[in-house]
Structure 1
Amino acid sequence: MPDSQSVAESMDRKGLLVLGVDTCGPTGSVALARVEGGGARMLGKTELAGRSYSATLVAAVEELLTAGNVKLADLVAIVVASGPGSFTGVRVGLSAVKGLAEPGRIPVVAVSRLAVMAAKAGVESAALDAHRHEVFLRLGGEKARELLAGVEELAGVPVPGGSIAVCDEAAESLLARAWPAATLVRTLAPTAGDAIELCLPRVLERSFDDLALLDGHYLRRSDAEIFGDTVHHA
């Protein structure tokens, strides 16, 4: 992690430059922003096709920095969506961010993709399709919690008082069946730029994550673990 002097030097050279990475969903994105007046001004963003993150992510970051005439050493932080979402996508994103951050000791802020989407929609709760007839669900409030649930599990969970943000038809349909009285708000899928905007306070306060302890926010096991258990117990 950079010390106060190195952070100050970066600010003097380029301003507060922050890179964002999100590879959790069916499509992903990277974004580069400069902090100005307490907000984030996007300098560039690139959408990434799903299932190709391992081949395109690092190259997309390099192109984004080059287009902005920015070096990796100029960054004062990297914001990464750490899940929930595609198991492979989350792992690829976090591995790449660690590889980018470790050599130059660039601080990292990890954030839940559900929290980003809720903030994007201006509500406290959010849900994303988790496949297998389940949703990744964030229940906001004073003590926000996140869980993986299907219709049967949701039957035992109180319906949130506020609105729930959704960005895909599968999550919207499942919640409508499980909680007919819930208020659902359709919004666009969260992006790396949205993650930067939500995490600006942490960047400015230098409230960073320990890179050695950084791990994916999966909310469930991988297919390999699930099917491995099935074989083991057969």
Structure 2
Amino acid sequence: MKLLAIDCVANLCAACVYDTAAGKELGRSVLDLGKGHAEHLMAVIYGALKAGATDYASLGAIAVSTGPGSFTGLRVGVSAARGLALALKIPAIGVTTLEALAAEATATFPGRAVLAALDAGREEIHAALYDETSVLIYGPAVTTLSEAAAMAADISAVIAGTAAMQIAASAGRAFDIGPTTATADIAVYARLAATKGAGEKPKPLYLRSADAKPQAGFILSRQDHDPAKRELVSGKDHGPKENKS
């Protein structure tokens, strides 16, 4: 079966075609955008299909990175994956950023526990801990830097993700370090999705609410259009005008 994997959770807009039977990548397309995933994703997908000498009709599944990551990027990627899956009548499979980073670290350090950790700002860490057999034993969750450092030190875990160096510094000791990027290689998502198979429809993994929120101080109360009521509310009672003629 041929599987299309897409990833928009961080700066990359990436797609690849993966042969699940042969266990190999057939072709990919990757742009380092930062922003603008919505405008470029379909062209990136087309580039991956062309590089993999395949087309939409030949696909058997869609894989997508589900975060944690950029709020906008997550929505773009997951929406595209679910839309394509619905149109093609094939399953969509979600893979979290943390499990992909952990899998990439495991490829370099097999048989080791891995703490996948992303710097979430506000002195918070998005983390997930996997044991020596890649079974999830903690998270995905929001934790503090000190808690993440204690977790990694307790079992001498390999650390992966953008918070890896911070955690090592906080623990004050050396660790084996996996990828320190915000997302894994696109082929890792494809490989993990092929192993998972079809399940629930993918949805964005939001570990905390969005940073942008309505500013309550600028919300205006509804005004009453009855002039008499407006005068009462303002505390003014003009009364009848004096006839000065």
Q: TM over 0.5, yes or no?
A: yes
The letter for the 1-side match of 2:189 is A
Q: Contact (CA 8 Å) 2:127, 2:148: kept in 1 or not?
A: no
Q: Contact (CA 8 Å) 1:127, 1:165: kept in 2 or not?
A: yes
For 1:123-138, what aligned pairs fall within 5 Å after superposition?
Answer: 123=112, 124-138=114-128
Once the two structures are TM-superposed, the CA of residue 139 in structure 1 deviates from its matched residue by: 1.4
Change (3 A) 1:172 1:67: closer
Q: Distance in 2 between matches of 1:231 and 1:155?
A: 37
Find the residue that maps to 2:10 and give its secondary structure: coil
Q: Equivalent of 2:189, from 186, 190, 195?
A: 195
Matched, 1:42 2:34: no
Once the two structures are TM-superposed, the CA of residue 73 in structure 1 deviates from its matched residue by: 2.0
Once the two structures are TM-superposed, the CA of residue 167 in structure 1 deviates from its matched residue by: 4.0
Find the residue that maps to 2:199 and give its secondary structure: coil
Correspondence for 2:102:
118
The letter for the 2-side match of 1:23 is C
Once the two structures are TM-superposed, the CA of residue 152 in structure 1 deviates from its matched residue by: 5.3
For 1:86-165, what aligned pairs fall within 5 Å after superposition?
Answer: 86-122=70-106, 123=112, 124-141=114-131, 142=135, 143-151=137-145, 154=148, 159-165=153-159
Matched, 1:31 2:16: yes
Q: Contact (CA 8 Å) 1:28, 1:191: kept in 2 or not?
A: no
Unaligned runs of 5+ residues in structure 2 are 107-111, 220-245
Q: Contact (CA 8 Å) 2:152, 2:159: kept in 1 or not?
A: no
Q: Contact (CA 8 Å) 1:154, 1:178: kept in 2 or not?
A: no
Q: Equivalent of 1:218, from 189, 206, 212?
A: 206
Provide TM-score, normalisation by structure 2. 0.74
Which gives a bigger RCO, structure 1 or 2 (Cα 8 Å, sep 6+)?
A: 1
Correspondence for 1:10:
none
Once the two structures are TM-superposed, the CA of residue 156 in structure 1 deviates from its matched residue by: 7.4
| Residues 82-141 of structure 1 deviation map (CA, whole Å, 9 limit, x = unaligned) | 001111111111011112111111111101111111111114321122233332211123
Correspondence for 1:4:
none
Q: Judging by fraction of residues, say which structure has more helix.
A: 1
Change (3 A) 1:35 1:158: closer
Once the two structures are TM-superposed, the CA of residue 29 in structure 1 deviates from its matched residue by: 1.4
Q: Contact (CA 8 Å) 2:17, 2:48: kept in 1 or not?
A: yes
The letter for the 2-side match of 1:146 is P
Q: Contact (CA 8 Å) 1:163, 1:185: kept in 2 or not?
A: no
Unaligned runs of 5+ residues in structure 1 are 1-15
Find the residue that maps to 1:186 and give its secondary structure: coil
Correspondence for 2:35:
51
The letter for the 2-side match of 1:65 is L
The letter for the 1-side match of 2:130 is G
Once the two structures are TM-superposed, the CA of residue 80 in structure 1 deviates from its matched residue by: 0.8
Q: Equivalent of 2:3, from 15, 18, 28?
A: 18
Correspondence for 2:239:
none
Q: Distance in 2 between matches of 1:133 and 1:28?
A: 27
Q: Equivalent of 1:74, from 58, 72, 81?
A: 58
Q: Contact (CA 8 Å) 1:155, 1:178: kept in 2 or not?
A: yes
